Structure 1
Amino acid sequence: MVRVTGCPARYDEQLGYWVVDDPALARDVLLDPRMFRPDNAVLAHTPLAVKALRVLSTVGFALPPTLANNAGESHRPIRAAVARFFSPARVAAAEPFTRELNAVRVAAAAAELASGREVDLVQAIAAEPPALVVLRLLGLTDVDVPALKAWSLDSLELFWGWPDEDRQLELAHSAAEFYAWLRSRTAAARQAPADDLFGALVGLGLTDEEVCAVGYFLLIAGQETTTQLISAAFHRVLGEAERAAEPAELVECVLRDASSVPTWRRITAEPTVLGDVELPAGAPVLLGLSGHGGPADLAFGIGMHRCLGAGLARMETRVALESAGELLAGVRPVEEPPMIDLLSFRAPKRLRVVTRGNTEDNSRP
């Protein structure tokens, strides 16, 4: 293939994708799952080495078509079963709990700052509430939240990052541990179905691998991407340009300009024309969802694969900004934050701050 520049779709040789930054074209692609299939949506961007694959095979790791990677007939009933957990009424009912979680963490962070210590806003405030909220919505209890957070970050890097073989092996052990946990929850649901995510999926008659595949990415996307969206919003406020913005308005600004999920993937089913560019069958396409002048809502996708948690993510990010507003106004960053910078995920890894009156050098290597 040749690299096309100055066109609606350009081939990026380094990434190995046809890149589509035009929001209108990205929207058209997402609305045509027959031509632009989601088969590559959750494939590893960096091909997995044999050692990593062997680790995953020990737990029967498999990601058959279920939600994000499924354009077949089974997609609709699976999506409907999951969507009921994220209904507008349930999201609205979760707001008081979300506010309580944030209030406790903001108060603890404020006490740390008042004593002259440095605080990482990602770990102190943004990290855990989205996980606790989504687990409640899904009816899941007895979940090790720190383990879930670690599994999520490792899996995002494994599937959307550029890990070398040694790093892949580390990440594969983490992903296998997560998958083994999903298998245990699936087995428990078959023995005693409950009114929770696993009970609903088992009730559909899905295979163990299908249940685990839904759980694998839903439990990542349902909370880690929101943690990252909140982190991106906090970073925006710390940059001072958006300090006066209302929280709901700021959420929309971040979704438009710097969403935690700035790109997504598709693959062509047959030769086609996109804009004025001819694409062959099997062409991998990388869609720009944020940062290219499109609407905020495009950050959640559109059509049959639109993010089921869009309303939840908006609510949680708004509440986090409302809860932390006074604290954010009184702090300053101590560094330009290191970033989670993967193919389809981008956000600050940490946001280290001190009070504005603190003039000590708190920088660390």
Structure 2
Amino acid sequence: MTGCPARYDEELGYWVVDDPALARAVMLDPETFRPDNAVLAHTPLSVKALRVLSAVGFALPPTLANNAGESHRPIRAAVARFFSPARVAAVEPLTRSLVSTRVATAMSALASGDQLDLVQSIAAEPPALVLLHMLGLHDVDVPALKSWSQDSLELFWGRPDADRQLELAHTAAEFYTWLRTRTTAARSTPTDDLFGVLVALDLTDEEICAVAYFLLIAGQETTTQLISTAFQRCLGRSFEAAEVVEEVLREASSVPTWRRVTARPAVIGGVELPAAAPVLLGLTGHGGPADLAFGIGIHRCLGAGLARLEARVALECAADLLSAVRLVEEPPMIDLLSFRAPKRLRVVTRSNTSDN
């Protein structure tokens, strides 16, 4: 069945479409293949988890990735202005400075014989700091944002057991409470940051929080994952940064799959699907173009250009370091329905023969 244009995977509970041309066609037909399930929890939320989220008014109404309605266009246009080509190009010096500082610190530690996790020491924070700068957001606890982001991805795209799901729900509720606080502040004092722009669109508090919730996650955590995968591929060898970025996007993007649901009975490559059929699209690793990793059509990733720039700059800044180190363990992986990357990359210098 692996060669079928669309095959039903009993374990996943989705019709899986790996052919790049068919995945592209599905994304270009949002009326038939709707994005309504794009941010639904892969593992249904327990009653206890739902109570935790409900207590803070947690809601994810249709806004960006999960919106096929009329409100999608104005919300997308407002957010897209933060990621214009000119603004992306202008942020390269900041990106280079943030990464270079961390690379220098890492090289000093390695020279002293220390082990180092390249994910936490280099890849983790620069994408978040760059995103916050671009969105005009200040006084944000970046380690907290990273923790919120990772936990939210696991909650919505992982398979946590009941106890773990409850832990993750508390973290998501904490994040959402912070988003509500920022939204309330933007209503009382007009600003030109992300929250101020969304308030000016006359969105509800729930819509504003929904936009910010996934934008603040996807806009930086997936880039950290992209950089981490690129770092892993470049250990101990010379490379051309831009080529590696495109290679990773083609073969092992941090977002390997995405979801759709049929609005009515539909056909994919001659395979008939019923109405309300959940579809899982393979975006990377199946011979398609690098650009497919960011989607296509009205829901194409707004941060595609920024992600490419940040990954390229990270590789350029870390080139000497990457050529001089080796792994000390097989990297544990983030392995969620739609997100995959090394969780950590523990390394020592290649001249260091001790793994302790």
Q: Is 1:69 paired with 2:63? A: no
Q: Is 1:246 paired with 2:246? A: no
1: CA distance, partners of 2:306 / 2:4: 36
SS at match of 2:42: coil
Q: Is 1:49 paired with 2:46? A: yes
Q: How far does residue 228 in structure 1 lie from its aligned partner after superposition? A: 0.3
1: CA distance, partners of 2:352 / 2:240: 27
Q: How far does residue 150 in structure 1 lie from its aligned partner after superposition? A: 0.1
Q: Is 1:158 paired with 2:152? A: no
2: CA distance, partners of 1:271 / 1:136: 44
Paired residue total: 356
- Please point out which of 276, 281, 288 is paired with 1:287: 281
Q: Is 1:214 paired with 2:211? A: yes
Contact residue 7 and residue 276 of structure 1 kept, 8 A: no
2: CA distance, partners of 1:264 / 1:175: 21
Q: For each residue in 1:101-148, what CA deviation from the matched residue of structure 2 results, as whole angstroms up to 9, or x when unmatched?
A: 001000000000000000000000000000000000000000000000
2: CA distance, partners of 1:221 / 1:183: 19
- Please point out which of 33, 37, 52 is paired with 1:36: 33
2: CA distance, partners of 1:6 / 1:262: 18
Q: Which residue of 2 aligns with 1:265?
A: 259
2: CA distance, partners of 1:5 / 1:30: 21
Contact residue 238 and residue 319 of structure 2 kept, 8 A: no
Contact residue 121 and residue 350 of structure 1 kept, 8 A: yes
Q: Which residue of 1 aligns with 2:119?
A: 122
Q: For each residue in 1:311-361, what CA deviation from the matched residue of structure 2 results, as whole angstroms up to 9, or x when unmatched?
A: 000000000000000000000000110000000000000000000000012
Q: How far does residue 6 in structure 1 lie from its aligned partner after superposition? A: 2.7
Superposition TM-score, scaled by structure 2 size: 0.99
Q: Which residue of 2 aligns with 1:198?
A: 195
Q: For each residue in 1:204-239, what CA deviation from the matched residue of structure 2 results, as whole angstroms up to 9, or x when unmatched?
A: 00000000000000000000000000000001112x
- Please point out which of 276, 283, 302 is paired with 2:270: 276
SS at match of 1:18: strand
Q: How far does residue 245 in structure 1 lie from its aligned partner after superposition? A: 2.9
Structure 2 spans left out of the alignment, 5+ residues: none
Structure 1 spans left out of the alignment, 5+ residues: none
1: CA distance, partners of 2:302 / 2:32: 22
Q: Is 1:321 paired with 2:315? A: yes
Q: Is 1:181 paired with 2:178? A: yes
Q: Which residue of 2 aligns with 1:299?
A: 293
Counterpart of 1:59, as a letter, is V
2: CA distance, partners of 1:272 / 1:195: 43
Q: Which residue of 1 aligns with 2:140?
A: 143
Counterpart of 1:103, as a letter, is S
2: CA distance, partners of 1:218 / 1:45: 19
2: CA distance, partners of 1:274 / 1:339: 32
Counterpart of 2:306, as a letter, is L
Contact residue 9 and residue 18 of structure 1 kept, 8 A: yes
Q: Is 1:10 paired with 2:4? A: no
Q: How far does residue 193 in structure 1 lie from its aligned partner after superposition? A: 1.3
- Please point out which of 334, 337, 344 is paired with 1:343: 337
Contact residue 149 and residue 221 of structure 2 kept, 8 A: yes
Q: How far does residue 158 in structure 1 lie from its aligned partner after superposition? A: 0.1
Q: How far does residue 7 in structure 1 lie from its aligned partner after superposition? A: 1.0
Q: For each residue in 1:139-188, what CA deviation from the matched residue of structure 2 results, as whole angstroms up to 9, or x when unmatched?
A: 00000000000000000000000001100000000000000000000000
1: CA distance, partners of 2:254 / 2:4: 26
Counterpart of 2:61, as a letter, is P
Q: For each residue in 1:12-35, what CA deviation from the matched residue of structure 2 results, as whole angstroms up to 9, or x when unmatched?
A: 000000000000000000000000
Q: Is 1:228 paired with 2:192? A: no
Q: Which residue of 2 aligns with 1:83?
A: 80
Percent identical among aligned pairs is: 80
Counterpart of 1:36, as a letter, is F
- Please point out which of 303, 308, 314 is paired with 1:309: 303
Counterpart of 1:218, as a letter, is L
Counterpart of 1:193, as a letter, is P
Superposition TM-score, scaled by structure 1 size: 0.97
2: CA distance, partners of 1:119 / 1:101: 18
Q: How far does residue 5 in structure 1 lie from its aligned partner after superposition? A: 4.6
2: CA distance, partners of 1:270 / 1:168: 32
- Please point out which of 343, 348, 355 is paired with 1:354: 348
Q: How far does residue 202 in structure 1 lie from its aligned partner after superposition? A: 0.3
Contact residue 41 and residue 265 of structure 1 kept, 8 A: yes
Q: How far does residue 189 in structure 1 lie from its aligned partner after superposition? A: 0.3
Contact residue 238 and residue 323 of structure 2 kept, 8 A: no
